[in-house]
Amino acid sequence: MKHQIGGHDDKNLSYSYSLIEGGPLGDKLEKISYDNKFEAAAGGGSLCKSSMKFYTVGDYVITEDEIKAQIKGSEGVYKAVEAYLLANP
């Protein structure tokens, strides 16, 4: 997979990037853009608010099931990172 870094904002604890090649794109998606922002959690720790934007090829319409599958895949990555960080403070 190939990613393109969109940018980061140290002051607002946010960053963005796009998946531009490989992985789940296939021939129906041009790219998937991700925006992430970290905020302090009320009980300590932090929250990551993430959004995904899908850019389709031609007039293809992405289905709700395809979106759910992409979200589930992304959640898996975040859960793995969270587990690592909790185990290695």
CATH of the domain at 52: 3.30.530.20
Walking along the chain (89 residues) 10 residues at a time, the average pLDDT comes out as 93 94 91 94 88 95 92 86 86
Residue 74 is predicted with a pLDDT of 85
**Does the predicted TM-score (pTM) go above 0.75?**
yes
Residue 24 is predicted with a pLDDT of 85
Query: Which residues on neighbouring strands pair with residue 55, listed in sequence order?
Result: 31
Q: Measured on CA atoms in the order 42, 12, 19, 32, is the torsion positive or negative?
A: positive
Count of domains forming the chain? 1
Residue 66 is predicted with a pLDDT of 92
Residue 73 is predicted with a pLDDT of 86
Residue 85 is predicted with a pLDDT of 84
In terms of residue numbers, what domain contains 54?
2-87
